[in-house]
Amino acid sequence: MGRRQPAGLPKPRLPLSDETGTFDVDTFARELNAEPNYNVGTRLLFENDRVKVWEIVLKPGERAPFHRHTHPYFYVCVDPGRVRTRFPNGYYAEGDEEVGGVAFMEHSAESSGIHDLENVGDTTIRYTTVELL
């Protein structure tokens, strides 16, 4: 996933990836081989012809399944916690997200981003994610 800083905005506070590694992709083969999942949050809050606004709420141990990003988007961390993000190439990154942590990701139908998100901490984590259509 690529991160790009839009011109004129303060430097984003990104999650601290203090742990990386690999995992057995076969464990998630059912999800990865299924029809693409375009639900990038746990609840769609708003949608029009220009944006989709999602909420992601994960209690400790909960996981958002693999999903596909086909639009540029940004997220803001509302409630902090520790997360693990897995990618279909068998790589994962894990780190602590702070309140106000924000990142912009550039994706398209031709260059989609696929990942899951798991709360590996001991607090409920919450994000607001905005897809730019």
CATH of the domain spanning 36-132: 2.60.120.10
A 10 A CB-CB count for 89 gives 9
Regarding beta strands 51-58 and 102-105, do their DSSP bridges make them parallel or antiparallel, or are they unpaired? unpaired
In this prediction the pTM is 0.86
Q: What is the mean pLDDT of the chain?
A: 89
Q: Which helix (H) or strand (E) holds 31?
A: helix 29-33
Could you state, in order of their start, the residue ranges of all structural domains in the chain? 36-132
Query: Sorting pLDDT into bands at 50, 70 and 90, what band is 6?
Result: very low
Per-residue pLDDT tens digits for 32-67? 999 999 999 999 999 999 999 999 999 999 999 999
For residues 107 and 72, the answer to whether their CB atoms sit within 8 Å is yes
CA distance 11 to 5: 7
